């Protein structure tokens, strides 16, 4: 069968996680087919927590350049965060990228971790990561993540680490992403996936996805708007801290301080 992102899903075989990508699924990404052959030993690519986290990273602070380039970057102001991303790429694929200063960010000093490997980029796209400008793209949480609690937890922990926020002195966790106006329905569906998964797996209640009118954000006056959901119920905030958590240690610490500030019970990731 195929999931909502179109890649093949053959289920679990012999107790192993489902296969997401076979070597044959790559298509002709190189003019010289021998270039792809050297990566054939990676396949089949199976579902894993690490892969779920990388898909979230690329929906958040990362970017895949679509064909014919097929390269990826991950952006952060924290060099340790780049090292974490690079390690997970290496753990899965045995390939190292390179860090460099980001020249296009106008809001502070940041760095890019770049990986120039078409096979890795294509595998991540086939696993559900979007390519191109995310604000203009339609994408959903892949079915293989939505249907597995441990994969969903890793995905959400990474996505909230990239795009989420928490106030140290109020019972509030939020996440926000932007879309061009003709992709707002797709963006709302993506946030409903987040909302439904948090409730289904962890009994964490969020607001319905919502938006509000705001001035154009992109060049050439392309109209965009934010989509946001929030977690405001005290019990749900505590459950997020205990059962999901921010993978980002600074945000997780802020959340812990917020819980302490209300005089609530302390918790930890599980």
The better pLDDT of the pair 63, 3 is held by 63
pLDDT at 264: 47
Q: Report, at the CATH architecture level, how domain 143-261 is classified.
A: Roll (3.10)
Distance, CA of 129 to CA of 118 (rounded, Å):
14
Nearest Cα neighbor of 102 from 73, 123, 81 is: 73
What tens digit of pLDDT does each residue of 32-85 get? 888 889 999 999 999 999 999 999 999 999 999 998 999 999 999 899 999 999
Distance, CA of 94 to CA of 178 (rounded, Å):
33
| Cis peptide leading into residue 264 (ω within 30°) | no
Q: Is 119 in contact with 169 (CB distance < 8 Å)?
A: no
Beta strands in 53-196 (DSSP E): 62-65, 71-76, 98-101, 111-115, 164-166, 173-180
Q: What is the secondary structure of 222-269 as a DSSP string?
A: --EEEEEEEE--HHHHHHIIIII--SSHHHHHHHHHHHHHTTPPP---
Nearest Cα neighbor of 183 from 149, 226, 142 is: 226
pLDDT at 17: 84
In the predicted structure, residue 9 carries a pLDDT above the cut 60:
no
Segment 233-251 shows an average pLDDT of 94
Beta strands in the chain (DSSP E): 19-21, 45-46, 62-65, 71-76, 98-101, 111-115, 164-166, 173-180, 210-211, 224-231
Q: Tell me the CB-side half-sphere exposure of residue 52, using CA atoms within 13 A.
A: 23
Q: Where are the domains of the chain?
A: 19-132, 143-261
User: Do the domains 143-261 and 19-132 match in fold?
Assistant: yes
- Which of the four pLDDT bands, split at 50, 70 and 90, describes residue 215? low
In terms of CATH, what superfamily is 19-132? Homing endonucleases (3.10.28.10)
Strand order in the sheet with 62-65: 62-65, 71-76, 111-115, 98-101
Least confident of 55-69, 98-112, 137-151, 221-235: 98-112
Q: Is 92 in contact with 80 (CB distance < 8 Å)?
A: no
> To the nearest 10°, the Cα dihedral for 247, 251, 254, 259?
-50
Q: Is 160 in contact with 55 (CB distance < 8 Å)?
A: no
The better pLDDT of the pair 265, 144 is held by 144
**Model pTM score:** 0.87
pLDDT at 1: 33
């Amino acid at each position: 069968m195929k999931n909502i992102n179109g890649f093949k899903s053959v289920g679990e075989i012999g107790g192993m996680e489902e296969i997401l990508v076979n070597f044959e699924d790559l298509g002709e990404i190189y003019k010289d087919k021998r270039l792809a052959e050297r990566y054939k030993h990676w396949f089949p690519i199976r579902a894993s927590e690490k892969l779920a986290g990388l898909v979230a990273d690329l929906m958040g602070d990362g970017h895949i350049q679509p064909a014919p380039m097929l390269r990826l970057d991950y952006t952060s102001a924290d060099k340790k965060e780049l090292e974490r991303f690079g390690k997970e790429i290496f753990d899965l694929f045995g390939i190292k990228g390179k860090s460099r200063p980001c020249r296009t960010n106008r809001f502070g000093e940041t760095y890019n971790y770049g990986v120039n490997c078409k096979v890795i980029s294509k595998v991540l796209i086939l696993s559900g990561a979007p390519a191109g400008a995310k604000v203009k793209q339609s994408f959903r949480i892949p079915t293989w993540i939505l249907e597995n609690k441990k994969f969903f937890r890793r995905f959400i922990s990474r996505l909230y680490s990239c795009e989420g926020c928490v106030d140290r002195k109020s019972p509030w966790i939020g996440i926000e992403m932007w879309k061009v106006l003709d992709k707002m329905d797709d963006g709302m569906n993506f946030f409903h996936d987040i909302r439904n998964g948090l409730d289904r797996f962890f009994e964490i209640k969020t607001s319905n996805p919502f938006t509000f009118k705001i001035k154009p954000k992109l060049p050439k006056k392309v109209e965009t708007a934010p989509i946001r959901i929030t977690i405001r119920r005290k019990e749900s905030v505590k459950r997020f801290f205990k059962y999901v958590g921010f993978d980002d240690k600074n945000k997780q610490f802020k959340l812990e301080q917020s819980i302490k500030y209300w005089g609530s019970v302390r918790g930890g990731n599980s």
